[in-house]
Amino acid sequence: MDNTIIRITNLRKDYFVGEITVHALRGIDMEIKEGEFVAIMGTSGSGKSTMLNILGCLDTPSGGSYHLDSVDVSTMNRDELARLRNLKLGFVFQAYNLLPRTTALENVELPLFYNNRIKAKERRELAMNALESVGLADRLDHMPNQLSGGQQQRVAIARSLVNNPVLILADEPTGNLDTRTSFEIMELFQDLNSKGRTIVFVTHESDIARFATRNIVFRDGRIQREACLTERLLASEILKSLPVEDIELTQPK
């Protein structure tokens, strides 16, 4: 067993819109190894969202092959893909997608409900651990509308962690957040990455992509450029250097 989580060769994706065929992905070769923190970048229409959907097993490629954790995904059916997502993947969305009027704990438990092997007690413990690891151990019974945007995204990250996935996929995770909270979320991702989590996220903000270990830039359905970041930026350092007024603004006296 090697430590390659994602192996993609000559992957293509075509959409048929009426009589027009849209080539969203035109032959992608990509490998992501365990413990990497990859930012996928690109302008809208570059194919980065399509790539993320395929990586997340929400969509199937039109051609080429995709191996996730040494399993060939390209030939699986809907139910097999659902099971794969349940056991191996974690999702974080731009709009958090938490269930309304449902406590943080239950939101985090949700993926485990679709795994019959996990019993209620274990489910609860795993969810509590996940919330603790994102620093929300004291917010278990809060509803999403009682939490700030950053806290909601933390709950969503806890939800993506709860099934101990091989890969966390995040779609513009900081898109709805202010600068400071964005850095906090990236700090959390870096923290998780340093503990061995493999994370792939899509963003169009280059200053957010700087926190990753590798950047892949998409353009017109192809990989335009790839770069490993040798000098890694730490979100925790930047947070320290941010002006204090920001904190005062969020916590008025």
Partner 1 sequence: MDLSNLFKIAVRALVRNKMRAVLTMLGIIIGVGSVIAMLAIGQGSKQKIRDEMSSMGTNMIMIMPNYMRRGGVSLGASSSMALKYSDVAAIRNEAAAVAAVSPEVRSNNQVIFGNQNTQTTIYGVSEEYLAIRKLEISSGRIFTQAETRSMAKVCLLGRTVIENLFGKDSDPVGMTIRIKNLPFEVIGVLKGKGENGMGMDQDDLIIAPYTTVQRRLAAIDYINGIYASATSEAKSAVAIAEVEEILRRNHKLRESEEDDFRIMSQSELIETFSSISDVMTYLLGAIAGISLLVGGIGIMNIMFVSVTERTREIGLRMSIGGRGRDILRQFLVESMLLSIMGGTLGVIFGYIVAKVAGSVMNNPAIVTSHSVILAFAVCFAIGVFFGWYPAKKAAGLNPIEALRYE
Does 53 engage in binding with partner 1 (CB under 8 A)?
yes
Q: Does 164 bind partner 1 (CB under 8 A)?
A: no
HSE of 250, CA atoms in CB hemisphere, 13 A = 11
- Does 116 help bind partner 1 (rule: CB under 8 A)? yes
Task: List the x/- string, 179-218, binding to partner 1 by CB under 8 A.
Answer: ----------------------------------------
In whole angstroms, the minimum distance from the beta carbon of 111 to partner 1 comes to 4
129 sits near partner 1 (criterion: CB under 8 A): no
Scanning 25-33, 54-62, 139-147, 220-228 for contacts with partner 1 by CB under 8 A, the matching segment is 54-62
Looking at the Cβ atoms of 94 and 213, the one nearer to partner 1 is 94
What is the contact surface with partner 1 in residues (CB under 8 A)? 53, 56, 58-59, 78-79, 82-83, 85-87, 91, 93, 97, 99, 101-102, 110-111, 113-116, 159, 163
